[in-house]
Structure 1
Amino acid sequence: MKAGMYVGEKLVQLATVEKPILKDDEVLIKVAYAGICGTDMMIYAGKHPRAKAPLVMGHEFCGTVESVANIDEFQPGDRVTVEPYLTCGKCAACRAGQSHVCATLRCIGIDRDGGFAEYVAVPSHRLHRLPDNVTDEEAALTEPLAVAVHTVHRSDLKVGDSVAILGAGPIGLLIGLVAKQAGASEIFISDISPQRLQIAKQLGFTAINAKEADIKEAVLAYTKGVGADVVFEVAGTQITAKQMLECIKFQGKVVVVSVYKQPPAVDLAAMHFRELSLTTTRCASANDFATAIQLMERKIIDVRPLISHRLPLEQIKQGFDLMDNTEISLKVLFHP
């Protein structure tokens, strides 16, 4: 079968590999669409601590069941999306029903071959059936939408709250869409990419160009000097680690979504004097995936404006080149 293979730092190529052989309780998925995300770009740059070449990346994907191994729940022809997390089932988090923070959490497309291929083997308990009115393109964004759902849940956002989102990538924009449905009164979103900020405007958010405006002053101006009730940090830079405390209201809540490559400096004294709360978030639970699918099924959230490019797998290098340039890309999907 065809597979898009990560072979070294900044090196991806189309390869021919053996079709996966199923183990018990696994399902072979014929991939319809698979999206590049920030984690894939970290792997591509050679900076991921676990992912090693050669590797078929891709953990945001959907497709059709091709065959099954000793299971009855799914049949060939079923359309499914994939919850790509691999858990131990034994640690304290797993026993508490919080397996998305498993002590040894691993992921399809990072720790084993993923969705940048014609076929991929997936444990059957990691599949979610797709409604007929959710397209394959939409379903490929189930995982990032589930992450956004989980993130907003973690924020304890209340109806009427104002929200500032630092970073207008796919996750930041999806957080904005979910926050809007959760009752946010105003949503400010910052970035340095004019193209991404234009999409943010089209989605109804107040877009702030971080190259042209001081984020702190802009958010304070919009909120009459008070600051946002909730701030989501989604850019993962030292600059945004500073901004997240500058543009938030007293007793407000900061949610750090980014996975920092280097530990940032955070002014704890500034948090102390204004009684700020800080929380973090990691991937998503099975319930978040179910909610994400429901939001798309009911047409409450439309993820299609986030898709900037659709490419055949043969253009895997072009896809990563596009994602490397945030001025012209947002979400790149491969269609094996």
Structure 2
Amino acid sequence: MIELYVTKPNELELRHVDSLRAPKDDEVKIQLIYGGICGSDLSVFKGKLPHATYPVRPGHELLGVVIEKGENAAYDVGTRVVVLPNTYCGTCDLCVKGYTNICRNKKSLGVNVDGGFSQEFIISSKYVLSVPDDLPDEKAVLIEPFAVVVHAFKKVNIAKNTTVAVVGCGNEGMLAAALAHHLGAKVTAIDINPNKFELIKKVGNIRTLYPYELQHETFDVVFEAAGTKSAVEQAIRITNPGGDVVLIGLATEATFPVIHIVRSELTIHGTIIYQFPDDYLQAIEYLRDPSFSIDPIVSKILPVADYQQAYELAASGNVGKVILSFKKV
């Protein structure tokens, strides 16, 4: 079979490997259908994630079909599934409190253990979830990245006419803008790239602005999804007194105006990945809703043989989600 592999930073190759062993105990063997390219996949490839290990097989936004199962596996052969790419021990103090998303012993597929950009891979069935038959592959592959946004939205209250700003229109930012719009909020998407504006406007009636175009306007809820110092600092500046800032991006540092935060009674929420399976199940329900406009966020589906083009396109910053297809290898 074939798989993608990052041998070291900036070296990505498609290689042939031996067939896999049979799954044991609670394991399942999954034949991959689609794999979405995430910003963290690009960071691993470029050597920008300090906790990444090499060599490593990338890929964690995974949709596939169970083709073999161990004797204690939770899913039958033929079941279409998505994958939880972050392990949790279930026994550390954080897991016991329910914070499996920040487990002290967490490992992440495609970062510090091998991911799923392979024709087939084996994983414990406790880290997979079945997909409803009425959810097409092109939406089902978004469950994992969309669950990040679903989890973030649980930090705040978004209702009809809530004013929402999304700073940064990468994949997570566009998903956040789409969900806020779906919930009836008045949404403003902020980015430096006009190509992202064209995509986000296809989702619905969402206003788009460059960062410098915001003067004295403020918002009830601000989602920061750019992951840069300037974006975090702007997010705090443009939040209404008594409002909420939700930090989705992974900026390494920022300068916080403490007196402004205190006097304005701002609430700042940190959020990372999701709770499994609850956030996945909620993501599925949104994606099944025909009124939820999400299709424009998927920009390109390319065969895995075109992996170089796919990675270059995803890294360009000019498109939405880029997906690798393993359907016809």
1: CA distance, partners of 2:63 / 2:100? 21
Per-residue CA shift, 1:191-217, capped at 9, x if unaligned? 12212111111212111133xx433x1
Instruction: From the superposition, tell whether residues 72 and 10 of structure 1 become closer, same or farther in structure 2 (CA, over 3 Å).
Output: closer
Are 1:117 and 1:313, in contact at CA under 8 Å, matched by a contact in 2?
no
Deviation at 1:233, TM superposition (A): 0.5
Q: How does 1:60-209 map to 2 (within 5 A)?
A: 60-184=61-185, 186-204=186-204, 205-209=206-210
1: CA distance, partners of 2:127 / 2:83? 6
2: CA distance, partners of 1:19 / 1:299? 40
2: CA distance, partners of 1:194 / 1:30? 37
2:243 to 239, 252, 260: 252
Give the letter for the 1:175 counterpart. A
Match of 1:56, SS?
coil
| 1:303 aligned partner | 294
RMSD value, Cα? 1.6
Give the letter for the 2:254 counterpart. P
1: CA distance, partners of 2:37 / 2:259? 38
Which 10-residue stretch deviates more, 302-311 or 238-247? 302-311
Are 1:65 and 1:79, in contact at CA under 8 Å, matched by a contact in 2?
yes
| 1:214 aligned partner | 213
4+ long deviations beyond 6 Å? none
Unaligned runs of 5+ in 1: 221-226
Give the letter for the 1:192 counterpart. I
2: CA distance, partners of 1:158 / 1:137? 28
2: CA distance, partners of 1:243 / 1:92? 35
2: CA distance, partners of 1:91 / 1:19? 35
Query: Kindly, what percent of the aligned residue pairs are identical?
Result: 29
The answer to whether the aligner puts 1:283 opposite 2:273 as a matched pair is yes
1: CA distance, partners of 2:116 / 2:6? 12
Which 10-residue stretch deviates more, 6-15 or 293-302? 293-302
Are 2:172 and 2:225, in contact at CA under 8 Å, matched by a contact in 1?
yes
Match of 2:155, SS?
helix
Deviation at 1:158, TM superposition (A): 4.2
Are 2:200 and 2:297, in contact at CA under 8 Å, matched by a contact in 1?
no
Deviation at 1:9, TM superposition (A): 1.8
Are 2:25 and 2:73, in contact at CA under 8 Å, matched by a contact in 1?
no
| 2:260 aligned partner | 270
Give the letter for the 1:214 counterpart. E
Give the letter for the 2:156 counterpart. S
Which 10-residue stretch deviates more, 135-144 or 69-78? 69-78
Q: How many residues align?
A: 323
Q: TM-score, normalised by structure 1?
A: 0.91
Per-residue CA shift, 1:234-286, capped at 9, x if unaligned? 001111122112211111110100112x3222222221121111011010112
Deviation at 1:182, TM superposition (A): 3.3
